[in-house]
Amino acid sequence: MFKGSMVALITPMRADGSVDEKAFCELVDWQIKEGTEGLIPVGTTGESPTLSHAEHKRVVEMCVEVAARRVPVIAGAGSNSTDEAIDFARHAKQVGADATLVVAPYYNKPTQEGLFLHFTAIADAAELPLFLYNVPARTVVDISVETVARLAKHRNIVGIKDATANLTRPLHTKATAGADFIQLSGEDHTALAFNASGGTGCISVSANVAPRLCAEMHKAWREGRFAEAMAIQDRLVPLHDAMFCETSPGPVKYAASLLGRGTDHCRLPLAPIAAASKEKVRAAMVSAGILN
């Protein structure tokens, strides 16, 4: 159920900064029609830190409604407050999401025991499949392999989004958490290498603007057409580079705006990307064949 090309959805906004619900719903439908196999609203790429709680919940509701069970929805439900994360997770279950994605608490710097207790409390409260999200570059804390293995024993904790770009991690996680524990890459560049080490897919930023290419790459990999998958990977590398030429989601929202998928507006403290970055994004999209 949770495999292949999955997208960390942007949250399109109007020029005044309000959520563009029409653009978001159109983006979700387009993603599914282009072959995306899973939707992740209100993660980091969806600007969850600057959405109000009401906006956060509304975006999840829209995503579930438009998806209409065609592909799974893994709703972002992370917070550095355990009580807030529980509230988001319970809401996700209530509105029909298929799972939650819960990031390691940021800023607080919990110990490994604190991480274990945090994720356990959320998993106990929501009774919905839960994916851990490990992205130490943003949260400062790293969910250790040993802690992941402890958490994998919980009936509701089914997998992890690993954005460490450390390709020894999926090997060790598979050995300690078991082959049934679902591992999804959270880093576009290493998606295929991650799959080769035990992963089943990628939660992608680039898929916001190149959904068909990302989906075709994962499908080719699953079907054993490795040379074809790697050729698509090579084609996408400049795009992946461009999507992180500045802090995400600035570049990907600009890229989406070039495709008519909302404006390039990000809420402060993210600034509009620089002119040189815009040129880099545009050139990468042309090179990948997704923009004329």
Each residue's pLDDT tens digit, 155-201: 999 999 999 999 999 999 999 999 999 999 999 999 999 999 999 99
Q: For 220-263, what is each residue's pLDDT tens digit? A: 999 999 999 999 999 999 999 999 999 999 999 999 999 999 99
CATH number at residue 130: 3.20.20.70
Marked catalytic residue, from 57, 106, 133, 254: 133
249 domain residue, yes or no:
no
290 domain residue, yes or no:
no
Per-residue confidence (pLDDT) for residue 74, from 0 to 100: 98
| Identity of the amino acid at 99 | A
- Provide the domain count of the chain: 1
pLDDT-derived band at 140, boundaries 50, 70, 90: very high
Half-sphere exposure of 200 (CA within 13 A, CB side): 15
Task: Give 124's contacts (C-beta < 8 A, 6+ positions apart).
Answer: 156
Q: Is-catalytic flag, 33? A: no
* Rg over CA atoms, the chain: 18
Mean pLDDT of 14-34: 97
Residue 266 to residue 251: CA distance in whole angstroms: 10
232 domain residue, yes or no:
no
197 domain residue, yes or no:
yes
Per-residue confidence (pLDDT) for residue 142, from 0 to 100: 98
Q: For 115-139, what is each residue's pLDDT tens digit? A: 999 999 999 999 999 999 999 999 9
Domain interval for residue 206:
4-221
Per-residue confidence (pLDDT) for residue 150, from 0 to 100: 98
240 domain residue, yes or no:
no
71 domain residue, yes or no:
yes
Closest CA relative to residue 58, chosen from 92, 87, 89: 92
257 domain residue, yes or no:
no
User: What is the share, in percent, of the chain residues with pLDDT greater than 70?
Assistant: 100
Residue 275 to residue 121: CA distance in whole angstroms: 45
Residue 181 to residue 159: CA distance in whole angstroms: 5
Reported residue count of the chain is 292
Mean pLDDT of 210-223: 98
Marked catalytic residue, from 57, 93, 161, 280: 161
Q: For 55-111, what is each residue's pLDDT tens digit? A: 999 999 999 999 999 999 999 999 999 999 999 999 999 999 999 999 999 999 999
286 domain residue, yes or no:
no
Q: Is-catalytic flag, 161? A: yes
Q: Which residues pair with 131 in a beta bridge?
A: 101, 159
Q: What is the mean pLDDT of the chain?
A: 98
